[in-house]
Structure 1
């Protein structure tokens, strides 16, 4: 079964999408196989360790690797923002640069969180900003793909604007 991917339409190479968390436990391998069949190259999770445990996703890195997908973990608290919004944090900047490089190289990057609305939007938005897309346009593109307003909170929206101000191309 293929997980529901919300593919973001943007005028460059590669593909970028958001999604809700995959099914865990004994269905995890099938979920990763479904992502691989959809052409996903890089799978980025914003779930916390506690969410992974609760959802049966503690083996997601191994399942992704077995399916030929690069797995990256960047935990963000539910309805939260990276590192309390510290724009000097090199981790989120490095992640944005890395994901943008994957997209520029023609790869398919998928960001995910619990519902695929807030934290996954921030990671996709940061990637788009590093690709030269403004924050308002980035949020519009994700909302169009998702079919509903994003992100979850104003704090998340404000974070993406601040990130773009400090690190936008």
Structure 2
């Protein structure tokens, strides 16, 4: 079963991609086998627990582990943004630098997965607008799913990537202050909903 991976043109030792959610239920094991065959080492999912239940993906971590893939969870509401992904970004960038294949996944592979891939690229030294262009080129359409998500990545980069600028229009979408250096143990990923909602398909 061939996974729908949108591989980003990153010229480093590892690889980075986004994808929509895998098929769940009885097809989940085969989906993870396909990802392992594609060389995937790490999956980070932005799906919420409710989405996991609805899509039959509550066993995703176990199915991934069974084929040698590390599964990380960073739940973010549909069309929302995370609050604290500094430790996660450091960890994902370290995986890429070590030559591993990291895949960020959400519902449609457009919004939330773009933010997680964008955070990883920022931690690898890529400016936010360039990071979004790289993910858009891989996805074959403009991403992320809304302006609040795009502005959030700019703020995150200004706070944690060492790039000037931040939020260009002052919408008040702020990144969480940097934690002191320490263990790369991954905290529970926290989030906030964007002001745009509801009638648009999941991203």
Query: For the residues of structure 2 that align with 1:2 and 1:32, how far apart are their CA atoms?
Result: 10
Match of 1:98 in 2: 91
Match of 1:156 in 2: 149
Equivalent residues in 2 for 1:130-149 (5 A)? 130-149=123-142
Q: Which structure has the highest helix share of the two?
A: 1
Equivalent residues in 2 for 1:24-43 (5 A)? 24-43=24-43
Residue by residue over 1:86-123, the C-alpha shift from the partner in whole angstroms, topping out at 9 and shown as x without a partner, is xxx3xx00000000000000000000000000000000
Gaps of 5+ in 1: 84-88
Moved over 2 A (4+): none
Cα RMSD of the aligned pairs, angstroms, is 0.6
Gaps of 5+ in 2: 163-203
Any idea what SS the aligned residue of 1:17 has?
strand
> Aligned residues, how many?
162
Residue by residue over 1:42-87, the C-alpha shift from the partner in whole angstroms, topping out at 9 and shown as x without a partner, is 011000000000000000000000011000000000000002xxxx
Per the TM alignment, residue 11 of structure 1 is displaced from its structure 2 partner at its CA by 2.0
Any idea what SS the aligned residue of 2:17 has?
strand
Match of 1:121 in 2: 114
Q: TM-score, normalised by structure 2?
A: 0.79
